[in-house]
Structure 1
């Protein structure tokens, strides 16, 4: 009898030990299932973007995306990879994207915000796509009323987009008059006269020259090395979340086209500044090496200057509650999901952490 009781006791201990270990193993397994981290959005265009993340334990991932503030405006995509291309986005819209681990207990990642681009046709010479012009743009200088000048020196190329260079951003004050722009040409004198034209997409519709005010310089066969023009800026901001552009076109022909030319094209990002924020904008441009934000207050997009690359950020309310996170896209962060109030944005640039206060209006 004693032997039977001892055997039952041993059996009970074995079963108990087995159940505990199975439960611990399952718990540990679930604890290792985490939502994806280090979410990045790259290759952003007018209607597409690439979302990527670090590998995690799980059977697959569900990528969910919507226009900020409009549930159901996007979609969801399943993949077993660690990146996916979203190809059904809308032009000039702010998006929120999360990536979830479909295995039980994985959960959703923190949301990441990005904005699709406006459509600006590229340099596409139909007959000679490798053409490099003899007569080219060597200097562009914009002197905006009330702001430091933007000066851009460049070499010989067919097409250059300077959107990623904050030192070449063209800042203009809404409603200002008497702004000037000058274009200097370089190359063999035999190529002169040259034809030059400059457009600014003031209405943010993704095209140039739809209204006379968008053509701010037209040099019709000038032999001068430098041509200049004076222009005004509309008083109304188009309130587009995506970036506006200034296009400088140099052509050996009077038939200047904004998207196809045998000369040269340079594109610059344009920021339209409310006169109320003029002093802040002057401060920002005078400290190019420091990390700073503008405009402040801001309503939709918070721009960040002084960054050398895409940077992770977190947003906190004044009470310390985390209200958003993501990765900067073209030196900006989308803040349209925030309620009106005072916030802090925390940026981790390399090994340094910068914390800046801003107002969402």
Structure 2
């Protein structure tokens, strides 16, 4: 009898409590109310998409965001959806995110992300179809130093954390040089594409494809411009991606049969280097050196007359540079000197034809 009376009182208490708190009754069947599977995606320098798994019967949440190490949370209520788009983030800052279920106050664990682009992976399954021997980026405005990368055979190389391979470009600059040389085992015919994530959204878009070649030649060069709208003077970089393949390149992401992928860090600046630094950078130079096909000339203000002499002092070629380059493919292997007439002051430089 006592047992029956106890069960009666327990049921009565339960019904009385939830009659006064109907929202508790609505949620009483939800055994799990802690938000799970928090994912941060589509990250840029200033925004991110945050999502989590749905909870049956739960429609009200609060997204809690704060920079790592800061005590106070920024609170963003969310209704009838399991996602939130965060904007106005500070570039290169690490953020902490938690999701709270409002009815119970149950809160997820913390997820951390950095407000900078996250790029899709890409690599070849076999590097024998063509790998990158040299990648050279030469800014022609702003006085920033050039970047030369020599590398060996691989499927994928991530150089984004290498300070010696850092690239800095002036926002709005024109006539910047990109030069490459390739090696191969299985094929002498290669496809090459280059992307620069100018808008910093973490996606290599068609309009950001600055070079596309389909050639049997060992090397090549191109000129590219930088939009004025790039995110400048930010402490974390975007990526320049180079893909070399023995078959057509259809996608900057994912795996492909044979070739190589290389990623480089690119920083954009609104201002050129100071005058004294710029003067140091403006010396005339030739690259690559040794060279197989196209010799690039940096430090000249416009196309100039040139003369090429062999090691015996004999003139073997002359003409005018084209887009600040000279085609030396016709030269035999050996040591040469190119004399450039820049502002009526001849400059003689040594290079090796390989």
| TM-score normalised over the length of structure 2 | 0.46
| TM-score normalised over the length of structure 1 | 0.45
